[in-house]
Structure 1
Amino acid sequence: MKYCSETTTTHPTSVSCPHCVNDFNDLLSAEGYIASQQLFNMGEVVLNLDCVEATCAAAAGLERAKSMDLAFGISDLKKECQLMVLVEIRLNYQNPNNVRRDKLHEKVLGSIAALGSHLPIYANYIFVFREDKKQEARNRFFRMNPKIPNEYLVMDLDELKATFF
């Protein structure tokens, strides 16, 4: 299954918060991606979950819940199976040992709640670190006590792109 712009843009949360549908490269820049070359193709959009959460919290007069940074849709070739992928961008993390299980779990739960039950969520939750911090982050996730679920995956941007785009 690969990235699907249609699945991303037609998701009910994207439709109700169209201002939260952002170009992937723009969102990466805002999250600390500093390379001069854009990593993703123009038109590859994602749902900015921080924006969604801020919009929903403001409308309800509530405090913002924690959320992953973004979600995007994936589908099979015939679009018979569609899923939303949750991604947290951690490019600015200098020390992955500061990652805490409870904070990661809150982000996943907040994002699932923000997306609702319109489409199933991809079975793994992706946490993207810089390439030079990826192995350290994987070790931290593996050693976390209490144990972090196996569905919490560490990738770098190249792995994310190769896996879904």
Structure 2
Amino acid sequence: MRQTVPNSQDPEPTQLYLYERKQRHTALVLLLNMGVLIAMYAAARKWIEPSEARDQLFYWINIAVPVVEVCLLLLAIYFWLKNGRFRMSVDTNRFTIDDPISKTYSFSVPVSEIEGIRQTYRNHTNYTTTVMYLKSGETIQLTPNYNYSRRALYDALKEANSTIQLPEHPYRFKQV
């Protein structure tokens, strides 16, 4: 995790934004996805007209669905037992993300070092990214894996450091 040593002369920081999510929530979502997959499989079985193409399709689906179901179940069990905590916070001094799934997305930086955040959309790959730029030239990609409020996050960052360049709209991405 990237981290700089806070200045001991700084006043006690004020919490401006906090988002936390336990992995048990993710485990429940995975179990829900298992149910949706079974429902989709049953609906396809019921409504796809019998034909040779259907038989070929279901040959592969009958292999893929159980494999996916087992993978989802194993991930759900892992997340339920591990129950790590994703935490995103902004206070008057620091912007911190602690991601138990990926240390790549974990960091802690002073808000005074943040130059800006850019959101881009790549049309040919249908891929969005949110990247934070630091005054040092370093870039840090913000995780897309959690349903945090970008609007509240950006408002807190702007309150902590009014010079940060933020997207005009938190849910619109510039096409590149």
- Could you say which structure has the larger radius of gyration? 2
* TM-score scaled by length of structure 2: 0.23
* TM-score scaled by length of structure 1: 0.24
